[in-house]
Amino acid sequence: MPRQLSEGDGVRTGFNAQVRVELRGGSVLEASGNSSFTIEADNDGQTSVAASLGFLRLTALASGGRAVTVRSPVCLAKVRGERAALSVVVSGGGNVVLEVDSGLVGVEDIRGRQMLLNAGRRIEVDLAGLREPTPVPTPAQRRAQDFMSSMRRELGFELGREADFAAAAKESRREEHRLGRVLTDLDGRRVRVEEFVVRPSADRLALVVLNGRADGLSFYSWDGVFDRALPRDLAPVFSGLAASRDAPTDWTLLSYSATRSNGVASLVERASGGHQVDVNSNGDPSDDVAAVFDAERDVYRATGGPVYKTVFDRWGLYADGTLRRGWTGSNLQSYLDAVPSTTHDPLSGAALAAALPGTVVNTTFPDAASARRSRLESYGDGTSVGVEDFGLEFAGGVAGRGAWGGSSSGDGLHRAMLDWGFEQRVTFNGRTIRLTMPARDFLVTGQLP
């Protein structure tokens, strides 16, 4: 749509738009889309256009001493001679590319430096001034440059496209570490850990800890059967497993089996006939409890009153399925009254092929510099079961002895063990079961002597 423009009028074109301005003296100015310019002067003596953005092409007639100029943020182009055609590209930052298609054009930068450009020459101008002129690119060259510029932009988008996917992957990995599912073991090697509960029936509960190493799986499971259905919220159940202050728990553990295995070797502790006993009032001072572990706060709380623990009438320890030690009793109130098994299996009552040998248990801290405890159960037949506990450094390896504090047994040692990574190695029959897991799981299930 033709419009009349006057001196001082500005024009801004939209996307893909084109504008053609017929100036005095026969000059013609064309601008493509997304361009911006102002007609500063267009009178009998001079024509002056200020280009501020985009692509402008000027076909200038400067006969009769008429001055035709294009001013941009960083230079001034003036037509020399009677006729010239030039194009100006002003980028967003104000830099300019000037090309002369025909005639002669004088260019002056903001520092006052001047240069004459012949037809077929091109120059870039910025705040630093005029650059070295070069030949105007051929249409093929220009096309290639535009193409490369466009593709560079697309490459930037392409490489940035992955950020969200990378963030999600990073989050997955971070959570695995935070939840303690990926640890470094005593030997500085990777060990994976998974811990969960299984509830095969309303009155049964199993706590399972799995370890995965390059050489296979190992696990610890504690599987208990209670006298009644357990609540969905297991926190109070775990709290009262080891002992209960003042009153018995609402549910009684009737039997359990605690298994350490690597699939080849297994050490299983089984018990049945469980019932709750106030061990502080059972006439046996050797089993009195002065402090009860508060599983809600992970602290031992002193008590002067009743403490209820589950006492089992039948108990046995099995290495690779073979009974190593056990006892029996009837409504036991103290393990002092338990009868050691010698010729019969304490759980099944079946007769043993050979009488059980005697047992000697020896607990030591073999390395004064390390958080390492060794418990060796030696049998009269020359066999043994060795259990070694280690405190772990964050990045693997055994912690210093100071990590476990000054205590060598009892509540003080147990409490210190909770603050460190923990690994247990069980050795018998020439095989070792390695378990890297929280010491707390052993403590809560009564498996940390």
User: Does residue 30 belong to the site contacting other proteins (CB under 8 A)?
Assistant: no
3-state secondary structure of 393: coil
User: Does residue 168 belong to the site contacting other proteins (CB under 8 A)?
Assistant: yes
Beta bridge partners of 53: 36
Nearer of residues 217 and 339 to other proteins, judged by Cβ: 217
CB-count burial class (<10 Å; 0-12, 13-18, 19+) for 244: buried
Say how many residues touch other proteins, by CB under 8 A.
Answer: 93
Q: Rounded to whole angstroms, how far apart are CA atoms 29 and 172?
A: 60
* Stretch 368-407 residues interacting with other proteins (CB under 8 A): 394-396
User: Does residue 179 belong to the site contacting other proteins (CB under 8 A)?
Assistant: yes
User: Does residue 112 belong to the site contacting other proteins (CB under 8 A)?
Assistant: no
* Stretch 253-282 residues interacting with other proteins (CB under 8 A): 259, 261, 263
User: Does residue 228 belong to the site contacting other proteins (CB under 8 A)?
Assistant: no
CA angle 66, 71, 75 (to 5 degrees): 120
At its nearest, how many Å lie between other proteins and the CB of residue 378? 29
Q: Cβ neighbours of residue 166 under 8 Å, at least 6 residues apart? A: none
Nearer of residues 80 and 190 to other proteins, judged by Cβ: 190
Nearer of residues 92 and 382 to other proteins, judged by Cβ: 92
* Stretch 326-355 residues interacting with other proteins (CB under 8 A): none
User: Does residue 234 belong to the site contacting other proteins (CB under 8 A)?
Assistant: yes
Contact pattern for other proteins over residues 198 through 217, marking x by CB under 8 A = xxx-----xxx-xxx-x--x
At its nearest, how many Å lie between other proteins and the CB of residue 300? 12
Q: Rounded to whole angstroms, how far apart are CA atoms 256 and 214?
A: 30
Nearer of residues 149 and 281 to other proteins, judged by Cβ: 149
User: Does residue 140 belong to the site contacting other proteins (CB under 8 A)?
Assistant: no
Contact assessment for residue 272 and residue 314, using Cβ atoms and an 8 Å cutoff: yes
Nearer of residues 344 and 440 to other proteins, judged by Cβ: 440
User: Does residue 164 belong to the site contacting other proteins (CB under 8 A)?
Assistant: yes
CA neighbours closer than 13 Å in the CB half-sphere of residue 435 = 30
User: Does residue 229 belong to the site contacting other proteins (CB under 8 A)?
Assistant: no
Nearer of residues 211 and 280 to other proteins, judged by Cβ: 211
Contact assessment for residue 318 and residue 305, using Cβ atoms and an 8 Å cutoff: no
Locate 401 and state its tokens.
Answer: 């002895």
User: Does residue 57 belong to the site contacting other proteins (CB under 8 A)?
Assistant: no
Alpha-carbon Rg for the chain, nearest whole angstrom, is 44
Tell me phi and psi for residue 387, to 5 degrees. Answer: -120, 120
At its nearest, how many Å lie between other proteins and the CB of residue 333? 29
User: Does residue 441 belong to the site contacting other proteins (CB under 8 A)?
Assistant: yes
Q: Rounded to whole angstroms, how far apart are CA atoms 397 and 390?
A: 9
Contact assessment for residue 243 and residue 307, using Cβ atoms and an 8 Å cutoff: yes
How many CB atoms are closer than 10 A to CB 304?
Answer: 7
Nearer of residues 198 and 361 to other proteins, judged by Cβ: 198
User: Does residue 17 belong to the site contacting other proteins (CB under 8 A)?
Assistant: no
Secondary element (H or E) of residue 239 = helix 235-239
Tokens 């923990």 — which residue?
Answer: 422
User: Does residue 97 belong to the site contacting other proteins (CB under 8 A)?
Assistant: no
At its nearest, how many Å lie between other proteins and the CB of residue 235? 4
Nearer of residues 34 and 383 to other proteins, judged by Cβ: 34
Tell me which of 4, 6, 138, 172 binds other proteins, using CB under 8 A.
Answer: 172
User: Does residue 428 belong to the site contacting other proteins (CB under 8 A)?
Assistant: no
User: Does residue 290 belong to the site contacting other proteins (CB under 8 A)?
Assistant: no
At its nearest, how many Å lie between other proteins and the CB of residue 165? 6
DSSP class per residue in 38-50: EEEEESSSEEEEE
Tokens 């101008």 — which residue?
Answer: 125
DSSP class per residue in 103-159: EEEEEEETTS-EEEE-TTEEEEEETTEE---EEPPPHHHHHHHHHHHHHHHHHHHHH
Report the number of secondary-structure helices (H) and strands (E) in the chain: 5, 31
* Region near other proteins per CB under 8 A, out of 169-177, 244-252, 282-290, 354-362: 169-177
* Region near other proteins per CB under 8 A, out of 60-68, 89-97, 271-279, 319-327: 89-97
Local structure of residue 199 (DSSP, 8 states): -
Tell me which of 17, 151, 290, 360 binds other proteins, using CB under 8 A.
Answer: 151
* Region near other proteins per CB under 8 A, out of 176-184, 350-358, 377-385, 399-407: 176-184
